[in-house]
Amino acid sequence: MSDIKINMTINGQAVETTADPRTLLIHFLREDQNLTGPHIGCDTSHCGACTVDMNGKSVKSCTVFVGQANGADIVTIEGIAEADGTLHALQEAFRQNHGLQCGFCTPGMITRAYRLLQENPNPTEEEIRYGISGNLCRCTGYQNIVKSIQIAAEELSHKEAAE
Amino acid sequence: MIPGSFEYHRPSSLDDAIGLLSSLGEDALLVAGGHSLIPMMKLRMAMPEHLVDLQDVQSLKSITVDTNQISLGAMVTQAELIASDELHAACPILRETSLQIADPQIRNLGTIGGNVANGDPGNDMPAIMQMLGATYVLAGPQGTREIAARDFYEAAFFTAREDGEILTTIKFDTPTAGHGWAYEKQKRKIGDYATAAAAVVLTVSGGVCETASIGLTNVADTPLWAEEAAGVLVGSALDEATIKTAANAAVAITDPALDGRGPVEFRKHIAGIMVQRAVAKAAQRAQ
């Protein structure tokens, strides 16, 4: 089968290449682009470890063909910190508040929370739990993940108020 | 899991999409949000030679709400459906249902058209559309035709849609202002298909039920429109005994499969409970 031309923006960088149409977005990101932050957990669109931001919406990149993402603006966990390496408020909050144990779900959790806090900057605990309902964690019991997102939300709103 | 090889097509108009389907023949499949098809392709239960992606067909993306009719383009995503305040004001059961489908990431890609056209008895929107008395518009090489949602589903994954046709629009009469509604879905966890679910819209005047319609999800190999059960409610005061009788009439038409969600008797029982809860909630919400 013939390769297709791929043009997309990944973490602010224009990418122009070709790919076999059957390549899933997660494989394209990990294997062609060496962005191994998004993980392959269940590979069946349940666990959310592969979550990336596509055109301003959270999606599960294990269930998107690379061609479907053609022309899109993609943000992965690698694109969330500032260029100088300063962590995003979510990354800092997960780090400070034990928002992870093994860390496998963390890129998906943070990428999802990154979009959630843009859609709803001051979510209630219930809204956070509902907002991350497509992301599974098998270690933490979610308590510290929810707490980390709450603290990051506060941090971000303080930051915004200061600006 | 890596799906089999295929050629990828992304037409930008409905005519181009129909043309592609005609010229590529039965080896081509349509992809909308892809969250039913891609898992099947990973399992090699679907092995299309060509995939026709509808995401650039702008004419399939509109939501139109007027006093008499609501019309939904097939490529409207669940997330867009949830976000439409105009739609929610006119027909709130749609948002209530969408919010019980899958999870936020999947709702960003999953479409209303894919949900109703795939013929999966586990999907939630087909029973909603049967309950609302919706009509599906199908476009093919010979032009367009319309078919009632109540006539569309033949068996699990078998529908009245022909291979060369594209489901473009779902339309239905705008429910009467002040109607009561509820979609009650029992599921094991977020993202799961229903063990059983019931959709109800009804109207009440002077304490008496004037009209009612009931749809059932995942309790047979097609969605079910429980006409007789709804008939029991009409003319009643929606008292507990009548609701129970209606629920029994709904259970009588179910024929669920034994699966991980429970034995047949359990799923039938849950279907009855879902009907009772949905009717009671709809009655409470009716003005």
* Residue A162: per-residue pLDDT: 86
Q: Which two tokens stand for residue B220?
A: 């047979």
CB contact under 8 A, B3 and A22: yes
User: Beta-carbon neighbour count of residue A60 at 10 Å?
Assistant: 34
Q: What is the pTM of this model?
A: 0.96
User: Beta-carbon neighbour count of residue B219 at 10 Å?
Assistant: 30
Mean pLDDT of chain A: 97
Residue A84 lies in a domain: no
* Residue A161: per-residue pLDDT: 87
Average pLDDT over residues A131-147: 96
Angstrom distance (rounded) from CA A71 to CA B12: 14
Instruction: Classify A24 as helix, strand or coil.
Output: strand
Q: How far is CA B8 from CA A16, A160, B51, in A?
A: 17, 43, 5
Facing residue for A21 by CB, picked from B6, B55, B102: B6
SS3 assignment for B87-143: HHHHCCHHHHHHCCCCCHHHHHHCEHHHHHHCCCCCCCHHHHHHHHCCEEEEEECCE
pLDDT along chain B (287 residues), means of 10: 95 98 95 97 96 98 97 98 98 98 98 97 98 98 97 98 96 98 95 96 97 98 98 98 98 95 97 98 97
Cβ atoms of B142 and B154 closer than 8 Å:
no
Residue B28 one-letter amino acid: A
| Of B65, B69, B66, B63, the residue nearest B173 (C-alpha) | B69
Domain co-membership, A68 together with A123: no
Please state, for a pLDDT cut of 70, what percent of chain A lies above it.
99
Find the residue in A nearest to B189 (Cα): A133
Cβ atoms of B74 and B54 closer than 8 Å:
yes
In Å, how far is B114's CA from the nearest CA of chain A? 15
Cβ atoms of B101 and A134 closer than 8 Å:
no
Q: State the angle between helix axes of B240-252 and B264-285 in degrees (0 to 180), rounded to the nearest 10.
A: 140
Q: Which two tokens stand for residue B90?
A: 């006119």
Domain co-membership, A70 together with A103: no
At A70, which CATH number? 3.10.20.30
The domain containing residue A23 runs over which residues?
Answer: 4-79
Please state, for a pLDDT cut of 90, what percent of chain A lies above it.
95
Domain co-membership, A8 together with A68: yes
At A155, which CATH number? 1.10.150.120
Domain co-membership, A101 together with A149: yes
Looking at the 3D structure of chain A, how many domains does it have? 2
Domain co-membership, A93 together with A148: yes
Domain co-membership, A68 together with A25: yes
Strand-pairing partners, residue B155, are: B158
| Contacting B residues, span 10-29, partner chain A, CB-CB under 8 Å | 10
The region that residue A43 occupies, defined by phi over 0 for left and psi between -120 and 50 for alpha, beta otherwise, is left
- What is the H or E stretch that residue A18 is in? strand A13-19
Domain co-membership, A64 together with A96: no
Alpha helices in B36-77 (DSSP H): 37-42
Which of A26, A44, A79 is the last residue in one of the domains? A79
Work out the pLDDT band at A160, boundaries 50, 70, 90.
Answer: confident
Average pLDDT over residues A103-131: 98
Domain co-membership, A72 together with A98: no
Residue A66 lies in a domain: yes
Facing residue for B104 by CB, picked from A21, A65, A131: A131
Average pLDDT over residues A98-121: 97
Q: What is the DSSP letter of B149?
A: H
| Of B139, B134, B199, the residue nearest B170 (C-alpha) | B134
Residue A56 lies in a domain: yes
Q: Which two tokens stand for residue B175?
A: 């429910």
Domain co-membership, A52 together with A102: no
Residue A117 lies in a domain: yes
Domain co-membership, A69 together with A123: no
CB contact under 8 A, A4 and B104: no
Domain co-membership, A75 together with A96: no
Which of A79, A113, A128 is the last residue in one of the domains? A79
pLDDT digits (tens, 9 = 90+) for A8-30: 999 999 999 999 999 999 999 99
Residue A1 pLDDT exceeds 80: no
Domain co-membership, A33 together with A60: yes
* Residue A2: per-residue pLDDT: 87
B40 part of contact set with chain A, CB < 8 Å: no
Domains defined for chain B, CATH in brackets: 7-52 (3.30.43.10), 61-173 (3.30.465.10), 186-285 (3.30.390.50)
Parallel, antiparallel, or unpaired for β A57-60 and A51-54? antiparallel
Per-position DSSP letters for B192-224, written without gaps between them: PPPSEEEEEEEEEETTEEEEEEEEEESSSSS-E
Which of A79, A106, A140 is the last residue in one of the domains? A79
Q: State the angle between helix axes of A143-162 and A106-119 in degrees (0 to 180), rounded to the nearest 10.
A: 40
Find the residue in A nearest to B56 (Cα): A68
Strand-pairing partners, residue A92, are: none
CB contact under 8 A, A27 and B103: no
Measured CA angle at A67 (ends A65, A70), to 5 deg: 120
